[in-house]
Amino acid sequence: MKTDVLHCDANNFYASVEMAKDPSLRGKNLAVCGDPQKRHGIILAKSEGAKRLGVKTGQTIREAQERCPDLILIPPDFPSYVKYSKALFNLYTSYTDRVESFGLDECWLDVSGSHTLFGSSEHIAEELRRRAREELGITISVGVSFTKVFAKLGSDYKKPDAQTLISEENYKEIAWPLPVQDILMVGAGAHSFFRSVGIRTIGDLARTDEALLVQKLGKMGSTLRAWANGEEDSPVKLYYETHKPESVGNGSTAEKDLTTRDECIQLITAMAERVGTRLRRHGMLANGVHLYIKSNALTTRGKQRRIPMPTASATDLKDAALPLLDELWKEGSSLPVRAITITAIYLIDSKEYVPTSLFENDELAQKHTRLEKSIDKIRDKYGSDVIRRGNLIAEKDDDFDEESKPFKRQ
């Protein structure tokens, strides 16, 4: 019986991290939510107790409090979520180097090469659950199976702090009765079609004529049917493989409408800092920048331009974005400004770029990037607040999504 694929899913991740940080919150009804004053007043995550009372992700704070009057509201702490996520992945990679991320709180593991050292797949799953609980203070659910799709079904099957085995022998008993929308990649369009032709369960999908599915859903119809029949053999990727993005962007809704150019520049500078940091971590350089502005009337405008020399510098990205801001500002159709997004485009791998060192702009871009790489190292060691641009000092901590101090177990 081959069951070498695990899918690990941290339960109620944001809320669990908050309880790990502050054990006095354990057992209480809490929700991580945006700040209503910043127009992000929705539930991002909830504890198990709040979930049982009907609190759902995406609800407004008012709706959640109607369901759960004693709900404790906590603002998001994204640097901590990143730190706990890294700690989880460090735990996973101590058992195998084949760990494929599916977000901050989910991943697949291929443990086919780990049995000699660590025992069976089910034993490894039990160990991962125990260590996550004891070492990090959070719980995970684990699916154990022979395909990635069924492993993910298994991690969703029982929660919290549980594991489910879906094998070649039992998948028809466990997976086939589940709703068809539970299988990976079934979106609203596919689900609507399935309902229209009487496909209610994964078993129904598995037994449906392939030609009909291909006719209505194209190649994806054939793929979904194969997955429902346990015919999926995509490998779990190596954790250290790099997946180069085609663009890197960051946007933010302002706390209040921006009515002056200087206010917009301050937000652009903050966005450029985040984009530059991510570019350097990906090992990428940008040859262009796109600036997108949303007005308080929810109209949107965007412009883009090439950058003279490839760069991963926040300074260069900001400088390239400012002429675009001026163009949009003169047109006036996006004023007052509600939200700004800056995106680095036309990316290349920094290893493939050979600096000419003949042009002043090229030398300046290299200088900016080297300086900001040094700042990255200082921030990684001492926290994101230790060095900040002068025009951002007044910014609040929660306006930054950079990583803070190294993870420490509470």
- Alpha-carbon span 376 to 393, nearest angstrom: 17
- Residue 330 makes CB contacts below 8 A (sequence gap 6+) with none
pLDDT at residue 374 tops 80? no
Q: Is residue 219 part of a domain?
A: yes
Q: Does a structural domain hold residue 142?
A: yes
Task: Give the confidence band of 370 by pLDDT, cuts at 50, 70, 90.
Answer: low
> For 356, what's the count of Cα atoms within 13 Å in the CB-facing half-sphere?
9
Q: Which of 196, 228, 260 is the last residue of a domain?
A: 228
Tell me how far CA of residue 383 lies from CA of 5, 75, 301, in angstroms.
36, 19, 35
Q: What is the pLDDT of residue 407?
A: 34
Instruction: State the pairing for strand pair 337-349/248-258.
Output: antiparallel
Percentage above 70 pLDDT, the chain: 82
So what's the pLDDT on residue 281?
A: 82
**Contacts (Cβ under 8 Å, ≥6 apart) of 277:** 314, 372, 376, 402
94, part of any domain: yes
pLDDT range class, residue 178, cuts 50, 70, 90: very high
Q: Which DSSP helix (H) or strand (E) runs through 400?
A: none
Asked whether residue 68 falls in the same domain as residue 196, the answer is no
Nearest-angstrom CA–CA distance, 183 and 231: 13
* One domain for residues 266 and 327: yes
Active site residues: 106
Hey, what are 107's tokens? 């991943």
| 306 in a structural domain | yes
Query: Which secondary-structure segment (H or E) carries 394?
Result: none
Residues 16 and 162 in one domain: yes
Choice between 344 and 297, residue whose per-residue pLDDT is larger: 344
Together in a domain, 65 and 31: yes
Query: Residue 144: what pLDDT?
Result: 97
Annotate 211-259 with three-state secondary structure.
HHHHHHHCHHHHHHHHHHCCCCCCCCCCCCCCCCCCCEEEEEEEEEEEC
Question: How much is the average pLDDT of 5-33?
Answer: 95
Mark out the alpha helices in 218-359 (DSSP H runs). 219-228, 261-282, 314-331
The predicted pLDDT at position 403 comes to 31
DSSP per residue over 22-38, as a string?
-GGGTTS-EEEE--GGG
pLDDT at 29 over 90: yes
Residue 143: per-residue pLDDT: 97
Indicate whether 325 pLDDT > 70.
yes
Cα 324 to Cα 347: distance, rounded to the nearest angstrom: 19
Asked whether residue 242 is domain-assigned, the answer is no
> Which amino acid appears at position 48 of this protein?
E
Give yes or no for residue 256 having a pLDDT over 50: yes
CATH number of 157's domain = 3.30.70.270
Which of the four pLDDT bands, split at 50, 70 and 90, describes residue 369? low
Asked if residue 314 is part of any domain, the answer here is yes
Q: Is residue 140 part of a domain?
A: yes
Residue 407 lies in a domain: no
Average pLDDT over residues 17-26: 95
The answer to whether 49 and 29 are in contact (CB under 8 A) is: yes
Same domain assignment for residues 115 and 256: no
263 in the same domain as 331 = yes
Task: Give tens-digit pLDDT for 73-94.
Answer: 999 888 899 899 989 999 999 9
How many degrees, rounded to 5, is the angle at CA 317 between CA 316 and CA 322? 100
- CA 99 – CA 293 distance, rounded (Å): 37
- Looking only at the bridges linking them, the beta strands covering 163-166 and 140-145 are parallel
Q: Output the pLDDT for position 355.
A: 55
Mean residue pLDDT of the chain comes to: 84
Indicate if 70 and 34 belong to the same structural domain: yes
Mean pLDDT on 335-361 = 73
Model pTM score: 0.61
Range among 40-54, 171-185, 367-381 with highest mean pLDDT value: 171-185
Please name which of 9, 12, 74, 84 lies closest in space to residue 45, comparing C-alpha atoms.
12
Query: Do 260 and 209 belong together in one domain?
Result: no
CATH classification of the domain holding 366: 3.30.1490.100
Closest by Cα among 82, 133, 139, 145 to 109? 145
Q: Is the pLDDT of residue 227 over 70?
A: yes
User: For residue 366, is pLDDT > 70?
Assistant: no
Our count of domains for the chain comes to 3
Domain range spanning residue 196? 176-228
Quick one: pLDDT at residue 243? 55
57 and 146 both lie in a single domain: yes
Give yes or no for residue 362 having a pLDDT over 60: no
Give the list of residues 6+ apart from residue 380 with CB closer than 8 angstroms, or none: 403, 406
What whole-number distance in Å separates Cα of residue 82 and Cα of residue 396? 19
Q: Are residues 183 and 296 in the same domain?
A: no
Residue pair 357/363 in contact by the 8 Å Cβ criterion? yes
Q: What is the pLDDT of residue 53?
A: 94
Is the alpha carbon torsion for 388, 392, 398, 399 positive or negative?
Answer: negative
* Residue 153 CB-density burial (10 A; 0-12 exposed, 13-18 middle, 19+ buried): buried
Q: What is the pLDDT of residue 410?
A: 34
- Which residues pair with residue 343 across a beta bridge? 249, 290
Best CA proximity match to 18, nearest among 36, 35, 30, 10: 30
The mean pLDDT of 112-122, rounded to a whole number, is: 94
Which two structure tokens, joined as six digits, stand for 362?
């090229």
Final residue in a domain of this structure, among 163, 195, 228: 228
* pLDDT score at 376: 56
386: pLDDT confidence band, cut at 50, 70 and 90?
very low
Is residue 25's pLDDT more than 50? yes
Q: How confident is the model at residue 392 (pLDDT cuts 50, 70, 90)?
A: very low
H-helix or E-strand spanning residue 308: strand 300-311
Identify whether residues 18 and 41 lie together within a single domain: yes
Looking at the DSSP bridge assignments, the partners of residue 43 are: 33
How far is residue 205's CA from residue 190's CA, in Å, rounded to a whole number? 11
- Asked whether residue 192 falls in the same domain as residue 166, the answer is no
| Integer Cα distance of 273 and 268 in angstroms | 9
